[in-house]
Structure 1
Amino acid sequence: MAKPNKKGPTKTVDIFCSSCNTQLLKYRKGGKGALVKCFIERISKDFTQVLGTCPKCELVFAREQLIKGTPALKIVGGKVWFK
């Protein structure tokens, strides 16, 4: 399978917890669609202590998976929002 583009997009989005509005990640997202997965190599800044868990309310918002042979976070629906 094809791997995601290493350089990736230049536009970054801020990802927040939907229950406590804490900023979780700064991510280089491509496209206009919904946030379904976050490739770990595209995360510019990580504000969490445990990957995939909110530091304030300890809500699990993502699971680690291999997608297209690359480590990624699979986002749980409705747990995060981004702008």
Structure 2
Amino acid sequence: MAKPNKKGPTKTVDIFCSACKTPLFKYRKGGKGALVKCFIERISQNFTKEPCICPNCNRPFARPAVIRGIPAYKIIGGKVTFK
């Protein structure tokens, strides 16, 4: 399996909780598609206190996973929005 690009994309997106609109991450996302996973090494700013839990409403928004040998968060559908 191919590993994700080390340098990664330069475009960042802001990821918010869909329930309470609290900022969760600033993430270097590649491509135009939906947000399915977040590689931990591409998160430029992390606003969460506990991994995969919204700091404001305490709802889980993702699950920890290993994708292509790299630690990542698999996003639960409909739990986050991004701009």
Give the structure-1-normalised TM-score: 0.99
Q: 1:57: which partner in 2?
A: 57
Question: Runs (4+) of structure 1 moved beyond 4 Å?
Answer: none
RMSD, matched Cα = 0.3
Aligned pairs for 1:3-82 within 5 A: 3-82=3-82
Letter in 1 for 2:9: P
Give the structure-2-normalised TM-score: 0.99
Which stretches in structure 2 are left out of the alignment for 5+ residues? none
Q: How far apart in 2 are the matches of 1:79 and 1:4? A: 24
**For this pair of structures, how many residues does the alignment match?**
83
Percent same amino acid at aligned positions? Answer: 72
Which stretches in structure 1 are left out of the alignment for 5+ residues? none
